[in-house]
Amino acid sequence: MNVSIKAPGLNKNWSVSDTALTIGNTEYPFSELSTFKIITSASAMLPGVAQGNTKSGKLIQCSFKFADRVVATQAIAFVQEKIETSQGKKKDYKYKLTAHTGTTLEVYETYIVINHMQVGFMANAINGGALGGKKIDIKNLTSVQFREPAGFTVGFIQFAYPGSVESKGGVGAMINDENSIPIQPAMVEQAREIVNFIEKKKEELSVEKSTTIIQQTSAADELKKFKDLLDMGAITQEEFDEKKKQLLNL
């Protein structure tokens, strides 16, 4: 990746190459960085801010304009992945989406993790917008809604599960919905793939759950039959205990 970002105000311009992050005239190879992430999402009123540390403990910071939010977020996500790889800590997720707001979605084999970043003046002023990560088991999802972006309107993926509160305020509300991730046009193809994977995995896990319930029910029925035989004196306690071990896989 070769991206240059013009910082707003008096902040230093910054760029990302395949090997390093450069802020102003200082180059930081990925192997020398320990962290780097968005701490404030960009809005029409305020610039976005990314912050990190070098392995020596130096604080690094750069900013980006609202107009550059998509490319800046992609560049920051690229740096994060390079840092993870250089540290040998790359996560085993199957997919990862990073929205222009800073919200990320990580999709694993049986669960998803949403790291939500709120947008707006108050969110940025109070806590930088970051709400931390939320893990949701795929088997517990009751619905996955995907709306593709159209024109100047961003799309979104929204997840629902028992106890969740679904935002009903349209796309604007979805941006600050902790169970949703905004989707820009450049993300559509990967978003489709992710939704298809989750829907298929959800169906597979549902079948596995149903099969387990049926097997447990069948074992319970069989065990009752042998208990009746034991009570009738048709089989011994030892024979009943042996059959119980077989049915319950003890």
DSSP assignment of 140-201, as one string?
Answer: G-SEEEEE--BTTB-EEEEEE-TT-----SHHHHHTT-TTEEEE-GGGHHHHHHHHHHHHHH
**For the purposes of burial, counting CB atoms within 10 Å of the CB of 229, is it exposed (0-12), middle (13-18) or buried (19 or more)?**
middle
**For the purposes of burial, counting CB atoms within 10 Å of the CB of 188, is it exposed (0-12), middle (13-18) or buried (19 or more)?**
middle
pLDDT at 102: 86
CB atoms within 10 A of CB 31: 13
Residues with Cβ < 8 Å from 90, sequence gap 6 or more? 81, 84
> What's the rounded mean pLDDT across residues 215-225?
71
> What's the rounded mean pLDDT across residues 134-161?
90
> What's the rounded mean pLDDT across residues 191-202?
94
Task: Name the band, by pLDDT with cuts 50, 70 and 90, for residue 132.
Answer: low
Q: Is the pLDDT of residue 141 over 80?
A: yes
Q: Is the pLDDT of residue 90 over 80?
A: no
> What's the rounded mean pLDDT across residues 195-217?
74
pLDDT at 124: 47
pLDDT at 122: 42
- The larger pLDDT score, comparing residue 47 to residue 127, is at 47
pLDDT at 46: 85
pLDDT tens figures, 10-57? 789 999 999 999 999 999 999 999 999 988 888 888 898 999 999 999
pLDDT at 39: 87
Backbone angles phi, psi at 240, to 5 degrees: -65, -45
pLDDT tens figures, 151-189? 878 899 999 998 887 666 666 667 778 899 999 898 999
Parallel, antiparallel or unpaired: strands 48-54 and 59-64: antiparallel
State the Cα–Cα distance between residues 95 and 113, nearest whole angstrom: 11
Task: Name the band, by pLDDT with cuts 50, 70 and 90, for residue 246.
Answer: confident
What is the number of alpha carbons within 13 Å of residue 238 lying toward its C-beta?
0
